[in-house]
Amino acid sequence: MNPLIWAALISSLATSTIITMTSNHWLLAWLGLELNTLSILPLIMKPHHPRATEATTKYFLVQATAAAIILFATTLNALQTGQWTITHASSTTTLLVTIAIILKLGLAPTHLWYPGVLQGSTMHTALVISTWQKIAPLTLLYLTHNHLNHTLLLLTGLLSATVGGLAGMNQTQP
């Protein structure tokens, strides 16, 4: 890959995370999440292998679904409250956004896309997906912490730890 293109993709990846982290408006946060998704897709596809194509397609479909849920929830929030700020969220909006973020993060109930994407990407790209790509959704969870359903988050965390531990013990691929 051309170093100039690679640098542009990495800088847009960093910029999109910063946009999401510093936003107070739902549409700007959604824009940052979408730019984040679009920045990583060429990096996943870089090896030009059928597994990389499958991983890119899976990643795009899951992230686009989660982004659509977030956009729907925030539009619903704007209709209910009359505001687009992240800190003024209704309970329905918070529940939908939490579910979308759980999908984006690849947590236990919605985790089946995650191993396939990591398996089809290179080690460096898998590292970026597993670390940097999680910063923006976790920031949105932090920004809505006053309205979060703590029981849902606790159950998701426990289920993720249990499924992750059992799946790790059952791993047979090198």
- List, for residues 20-51, the tens digit of each pLDDT value: 999 999 999 999 999 999 999 999 999 989 99
Confidence bin at 170 (pLDDT 50/70/90): confident
Q: What pLDDT is recorded for position 72?
A: 96
Single out the residue of 69, 70, 17 nearest to residue 40, CA to CA. Answer: 17
Single out the residue of 81, 64, 63 nearest to residue 26, CA to CA. Answer: 81
Confidence bin at 159 (pLDDT 50/70/90): very high
- Beta carbons within 8 Å of 134's beta carbon, 6+ residues apart: 105
- 111 CB-side CA count, 13 A: 14
What pTM was computed for the model? Answer: 0.90
The pLDDT of residue 174 is above 70: no
Give Cα 134 distance to the centre of its chain: 6
Confirm if 112 and 58 have CB atoms less than 8 A apart: no
- What is the average pLDDT across 86-109? 90
- What is the average pLDDT across 5-33? 93
The pLDDT of residue 168 is above 90: no
Q: Which residues are registered as beta bridge partners of 85?
A: 25
**Vertex 163 angle, CA 147 and 170, to 5°:** 165
- What is the average pLDDT across 82-98? 89
Residues of the chain above pLDDT 70, percent: 99
The mean predicted confidence, pLDDT, of the chain is 91
